[in-house]
Structure 1
Amino acid sequence: MKIAFVGKGGSGKTTLASLLISHLADQRRPVLALDADINQHLAVALGATEDEAAALPALGAHLPLIKDHLRGANPRIASADAMIKTTPPGAGSRLLRVAEDNPVYRACVREVGGARLAVTGPFAERDLGVACYHSKVGAVELLLNHLVDGDGEYVVVDMTAGADSFASGLFTRFDVTFLVCEPTVRSVAVYRQYLDHARDFGVRIAVVGNKVSDERDLEFLRDRVGDDLLTWLGRSDHVRAAERGEVRPIGRLEQANRAALAAMCALAEATDKDWPTYQRQAVEFHLRNARAWGNDRAGADLADQVDPDFVISPDALSRSGHAPVPN
């Protein structure tokens, strides 16, 4: 399952992502965590020190390696330099699995708090005034376009806050998007905005209430979110301890809050994979980006990178020389 966490800034999005990642790692589920937020806090939320988090390799710094590896022997892509963040896979491309050994993972993925984590990297001083953060997130979009996850395998992405997630096609790369919502008017407004933007793309959104103190908070969310409210987490001593830098085992999380994590996993695992739609949306956003800026930058028509007969799937993974994904 590919899962995204979105929500208003300060809603607890990164905290909930880290709790779910720790929950999965504790159950020895194959999980790959990706920090795609402009505020790079997921590593610390998983238990790294600030110095350890700052030392993590950035995906954006390894973009040439990522492109070269994913390109493989795809004859439609003249060179790794010709790839852009939306380039979809085709026959000959190298596909990825959640848990495997490959040059990209060796360069960019590190174990943090029992989970495997890759980060886009922070917004650096050299970027100020000349770049947008979504240029860094492009590495995540490329990886997800080429990644085949099997049953019981998880990719969990902490997205940037608010509606900024819609600045690229990355928002379509997930089986379930968990929108973290506080019982506040401003947090609900972000939920409605996200719902409006995602409606035409078949994005499955489930709301997870956070910082729910009492029945009035819960009724507020039920009234404004309705059936989209999947579950909720209450105030947590476990989370408060983590915010003070005290790392506790996930088993010490309050029982009701662990039940909320289990409900999130149950929803994800009950969601059917739709590989043809996944490929179609990758192609759609690739063509949008090609027309908007990619063709001019490449000096070529990047529509030629699209393989009309290819659909990423477990079968395509097997044909590319990988072992079958687990059933």
Structure 2
Amino acid sequence: MRVAATGAFTAEDLGVSCYHSKVGAVELLLNHLLDGPGEYVVVDMTAGADSFASGLFTRFDRTFLVCEPTLRSVGVYLQYAGYARDYGVALSVVGNKVEDASDVDFLREHVGADLLTWVSRSAYVRRAERGAVEPLSQLEPANRAVLAQLADAVDDTVQDWDGFTRHAHEFHRRNAAAWANDRTGVDLTAQIDPDFQLSRVRSGVPDAVSARIC
């Protein structure tokens, strides 16, 4: 397993750059990624409108939104789902810090069928946040079972390679029109090869479980 981090602001960034300059590197990586057999890419991001400042939100096979049983948290879900609706984003909600059946009922009332599963309050996680990181086998069995549900949901998701290509073209055109053409003095939409399709490239790779997960 390899781990990468976008990194914090440098002294030169302060007051000059927004954090999208950091997460843009993640989008570039996913744009050039051809998932191979048995490969998974998990991206941990903050939920909310910031995810939509670029085309990054369209780069995943399935997006899991972690949602607590509170109005503020489900409000973030509603905002995200509203923005993502027109782009065919596969979205699932994972309840967090669920204590009883009323919490589950609250989440179902507000997120409906998008609620996939939920995690209870975890002493294991609390210890980890205090620096005592134990083997994952020590996680509570019920919460460990939730991780298996997430894996199953990812495995059941069909990768939309035509969608990846279409959205990449769309956001390239938007950026070209918004600022890049003026900055470079040329029409950057000419960089798009209309005959290139990721699905054709991917068809040469043996079928296997692979996914990008947000």
Would you call these one fold, judging by a TM-score over 0.5? yes
Other-structure match for 1:304: 190
Q: Which residue identity does 1:236 align to in structure 2? A: S
Q: Deviations over 1:64-106 (max 9, x none)?
A: xxxxxxxxxxxxxxxxxxxxxxxxxxxxxxxxxxxxxxxxxxx
Other-structure match for 1:193: 79
Other-structure match for 2:201: 316
Q: Which one of 209, 214, 221 corresponds to residue 95 of structure 2?
A: 209
Q: Within the alignment, does 1:148 sit opposite 2:148 as a pair?
A: no
Q: Distance in 1 between matches of 2:155 and 2:186?
A: 41
Q: Which one of 276, 279, 283 corresponds to residue 169 of structure 2?
A: 283
Other-structure match for 1:182: 68
Q: How does 1:178-257 map to 2 (within 5 A)?
A: 178-257=64-143
Indicate if the aligned counterparts of 2:64 and 2:91 stay in contact, CA closer than 8 A.
yes
Superposed displacement of residue 326, structure 1? 5.5
Q: Which residue identity does 1:199 align to in structure 2? A: R
Q: Distance in 1 between matches of 2:29 and 2:135?
A: 30
Superposed displacement of residue 293, structure 1? 1.1
Q: Within the alignment, does 1:265 sit opposite 2:151 as a pair?
A: yes
Q: Distance in 2 between matches of 1:261 and 1:159?
A: 18
Q: Distance in 2 between matches of 1:317 and 1:176?
A: 18
Other-structure match for 1:170: 56
Superposed displacement of residue 214, structure 1? 1.3
Q: Which one of 116, 125, 133 corresponds to residue 2 of structure 2?
A: 116
Indicate if the aligned counterparts of 2:94 and 2:116 stay in contact, CA closer than 8 A.
yes
The percentage of aligned residue pairs carrying the same residue is 64
Superposed displacement of residue 148, structure 1? 1.0
Q: How does 1:75-94 map to 2 (within 5 A)?
A: none
Indicate if the aligned counterparts of 2:47 and 2:65 stay in contact, CA closer than 8 A.
no
Q: Which residue identity does 1:187 align to in structure 2? A: S
Q: Distance in 2 between matches of 1:302 and 1:146?
A: 18
Q: 1:325 to 1:134 in 2, by over 3 A?
A: farther
SS at 2:65's partner residue?
strand
TM-score, with length taken from structure 2: 0.92
Indicate if the aligned counterparts of 1:177 and 1:205 stay in contact, CA closer than 8 A.
yes
Indicate if the aligned counterparts of 2:94 and 2:117 stay in contact, CA closer than 8 A.
yes
Superposed displacement of residue 160, structure 1? 2.9
Q: Within the alignment, does 1:128 sit opposite 2:40 as a pair?
A: no
**Gaps (5+ residues) in structure 1?**
1-114
Q: 1:235 to 1:278 in 2, by over 3 A?
A: same
Other-structure match for 2:211: none
Q: Within the alignment, does 1:138 sit opposite 2:24 as a pair?
A: yes
